[in-house]
Structure 1
């Protein structure tokens, strides 16, 4: 039964029904502070567009200030759907290079120095299928180091502020969102993470980039799950999500057939992914769940890959990964 349920959930992630939670359903967020990593393009840009046009203070974290400036021009010139006449918020740039862990602490300190609350953090930035052998500045497989390790470290710095925010914020409103992907269904066996050699440093043959991408997206799920175990009783909701199969610069490393042929049939506009992330941030249903929630396009509670779920529930893979990442990131605190 679990296998059948999982299959139909995966099919539903690829061909979602229309969104029921959209821009017009976002509450007034004036005075609230949001962080979006990778908010200058793709789904992150669409999310920032909505948050800005609904009155939020939006911190856009990324490597390029020029890309941020281009995004600001785009956002201000093109209001979010149904929000044209709403009071505008603010947009601020936070320089952060997730492929280099030494940049995380200075960026976090800068953020903590200028805000006194953090209502929602979307760990949205990511790398998908770069050339095999690509690495971060610290030698991690690029997707693992960027998508998982760097966000984990950033969260270590930001968690105390979110816990403080939750003390006075409405119940269920403070959230940490670890953006995963349908690719989490295709991480390495048996439970999605190759714990014996996460960076495949000792493998006779390097795996395909999509395998290591899938592993990084499992890592995001595991971080969200374990963080929920740690903070759900302290007022923070920790969620993970698949934003959907979207047309974005994530596919820049993919081949021609995937980008131009299959992409036309299976990829959707980035705005819809923004609605998925919006649902994770503001919809009431996740707040009714105690602990971890996994969201699927375009804003529904979904089902994890069955093997990833078994690993979490029967073999404590979330706790295992959390301990590994804590030990590895201690030196950058």
Structure 2
């Protein structure tokens, strides 16, 4: 459904929204992962998100796309950026947005995920945005409710909107994704961001490299169409985009790295290591950052960093996703 500007909206943005060719119909009722999306699905979402970047930079940022609709954000894991981004996206589209606190919910009293799904379904929401610590949990919940479901991250499985916002950030800064060399560095083993980005970047024609110590690489990861390096400088040679990932200590059971200091020495991105990449290479990080562990402050805050821009693109991408799912709502 195309976004409808509110009354009194800036005339230039009205023209932009009216003249932009509508994105092809998004054929899916849910967004559960990048896997299963076609090249056209991805491009349609990115094109629509571009429009919402323009909207979000106006004084009046709201539309009526989801007016009268209810969006529930259900996060079983702590989140600052993603939850706030989805909340803002829903509100800018005119939805009634409710954030459910799992810490004070029946889940903490022993309620199963299926019972939680049944309870939420009885409230008749239009869209559920779900983050869960278990891979596959969001897919299970989507089969138990009547509304549209967005995966906001499930275990080490997928984080589709993060991959989409990363792609939008790259495309807006490089003008394309096809043919670029993207190096993803860090804790690949525990990262849903890495998995979703690998799938999306391959689908759009990028060359994907993974850089990590062998203890943080999944077995057989090469089958996903990536080139693997355990030497950071070699892996960064000629890279157009350097995407850093944090050490996910909360998912680690055992010693995967000797120490944070030792990890930074070999796999932390500092100015010296970044010099191995292309001179105009751009640096990304999904956040939260661990400065001095996977990235130096000099690089994170430097001229080549897109980290703050990624946050802005996140709101636009999530607006585009919610807009796309609105096509499948009754009378949508």
Q: What TM-score, normalized to structure 2?
A: 0.33
Relative to total residues, which structure has the larger helix share, 1 or 2?
1
Q: What TM-score, normalized to structure 1?
A: 0.33
Structure 1 or 2, whichever has the larger Rg, is 2
